[in-house]
């Protein structure tokens, strides 16, 4: 028969004190005589007592848990951000619940409701669906529970945002391609994402700034930019684009997974990277250094993004009257081996 679990009553009996005194020693929220404290701590050690953290949390109206929501775990960007979140929160006594929406707006709302029902102390959502930002849903959630949004933004929405400067990162990448002589650049993206929309806007702005006509064939959209199918979808889309009469000399991909798929498509089409087609990815995930040639990409400081977001959520949980902030991190272009300079003679 399984031995009964040690309770706080057992500790109190062993130490010869009240349950209240044991609670005060554990919670360190009320002064207790040193001699009494030593007796209680000795009893806890002898009985190998482990308090029920959930029960303690509910008494304090805290569960020491937070929810973290991602659109996919297949894209290495998201696990790296989550790692930064978890390391910070673990150091402050919190456990995370990780949920994957698979890029579905309704599933995103369902998960948020479930997390609130589980009484998590706060939520961090990474790259939320545009629908849930623009329709005010996330703003309503913010009124009920501390919430931080990573890499999703809409002007006028009252939420706590932590963002990468994806506009500048995209500008630097596209401007680098222009400096290398590439004016016929394809833009590879997925559907329904603030991040992709923002980058595409920069793509159009740069063409307008340099008075270049956009070939609409160069805006290549795949169904899902974050799933395990992303690489294959990108490969097929790029191969189709390269079959046209006016194929691009370079491709900008909205994330590294798409970029790897594009590289595979270029090679399957019988072309070389970067000699025939140059390519730049985005995120600087591990796979960008595992490709051959190594991928030129934009570093989003993924781990730091997670850390800063967790720190911001922690601040909000401690003071729910914290004013709304928009924290922006810089990106940097990592030049490797997938861009070549065109002969501009």
Residue 53 above 70 pLDDT? no
Structural tokens at position 95: 């456990």
Backbone angle region of 148, left / alpha / beta, with phi > 0 → left and psi within -120 to 50 → alpha: beta
> What's the mean pLDDT when you consider all of the chain?
91
Among 311, 331, 325, residue whose Cα is nearest residue 159: 325
Look at residue 345 and tell me if it is in a domain.
no
Structural tokens at position 280: 């730049």
Residues 79 and 112 in one domain: yes
Give pTM, 2 decimals. 0.81
The CATH number of the domain holding residue 88 is 3.40.50.2300
| 31 burial via Cβ count (<10 Å: 0-12, 13-18, 19+) | exposed
Structural tokens at position 53: 């953290």
Residues 127 and 173 in one domain: no
pLDDT digits (tens, 9 = 90+) for 184-203: 999 999 988 889 999 999 99
Residues 250 and 291 in one domain: yes
Q: Domain of residue 188: give its range.
A: 166-300
pLDDT digits (tens, 9 = 90+) for 285-323: 999 999 999 999 999 999 999 999 999 999 999 887 778
Region 169-173 average pLDDT: 97
Look at residue 276 and tell me if it is in a domain.
yes
Residue 44 above 70 pLDDT? yes
Residues 123 and 147 in one domain: yes
Residues 101 and 117 in one domain: yes
Which ranges of the chain would DSSP assign to H, the alpha helix? 8-15, 19-27, 34-47, 53-59, 77-91, 105-117, 130-134, 137-142, 166-179, 194-209, 230-242, 256-268, 302-318
Q: For residue 1, what pLDDT band results from cuts at 50, 70 and 90?
A: very low
Position of tokens 């500048």? 168
CA distance 226 to 256: 10
DSSP 269-309: TT--TTTT-EEE-SB--GGGGTSSSPPBEEE--HHHHHHHH
Look at residue 125 and tell me if it is in a domain.
yes
Residues 203 and 245 in one domain: yes
pLDDT digits (tens, 9 = 90+) for 204-231: 999 999 999 999 999 999 998 988 899 9
What's the number of domains the chain is made of?
3
Residues 219 and 314 in one domain: no
């Amino acid at each position: 028969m399984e031995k009964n679990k040690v309770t706080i009553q057992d500790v109190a009996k062993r130490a010869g004190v009240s349950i209240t005194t044991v609670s005060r020693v554990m919670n360190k929220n009320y002064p207790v005589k040193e001699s009494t404290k030593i007796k209680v701590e000795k009893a806890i050690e002898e009985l190998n007592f482990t308090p029920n953290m959930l029960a303690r949390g509910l008494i304090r109206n805290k569960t020491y848990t937070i929810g973290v929501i991602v659109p996919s775990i297949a894209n290495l960007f998201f696990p790296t951000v989550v790692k930064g979140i978890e390391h910070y929160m673990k150091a402050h006594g919190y456990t995370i619940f990780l949920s994957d929406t698979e890029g579905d707006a309704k599933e995103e709302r369902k998960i948020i409701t479930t997390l609130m029902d589980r009484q998590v102390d706060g939520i961090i959502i990474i790259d939320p669906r545009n629908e849930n930002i623009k329709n005010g849903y996330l703003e309503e959630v913010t009124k009920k529970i501390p919430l931080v949004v990573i890499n999703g933004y809409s002007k006028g929405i009252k939420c706590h945002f932590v963002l990468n400067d994806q506009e500048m990162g995209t500008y630097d990448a596209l401007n680098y391609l222009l400096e290398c002589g590439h004016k016929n650049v394809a833009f590879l993206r997925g559907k329904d994402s603030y991040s992709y929309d923002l980058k595409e806007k920069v793509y159009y702005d740069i063409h307008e700034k340099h008075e270049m006509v956009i070939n609409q064939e160069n805006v290549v959209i795949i169904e899902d930019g974050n799933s395990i199918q992303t690489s294959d979808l990108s490969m097929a889309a790029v191969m189709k684009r390269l079959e046209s009469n006016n194929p691009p000399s370079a491709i900008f991909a909205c994330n590294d997974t798409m970029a790897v798929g594009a590289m595979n498509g270029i090679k399957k089409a019988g072309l070389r990277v970067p000699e025939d087609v140059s390519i730049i990815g985005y995120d600087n995930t591990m796979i960008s250094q595992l490709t051959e040639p190594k991928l030129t990409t934009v570093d989003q400081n993924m781990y730091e993004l997670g850390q800063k977001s967790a720190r911001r959520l922690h601040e909000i949980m401690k003071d729910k009257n914290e004013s709304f902030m928009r924290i922006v991190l810089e990106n940097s272009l990592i030049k490797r081996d997938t861009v070549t300079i065109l002969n501009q003679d």
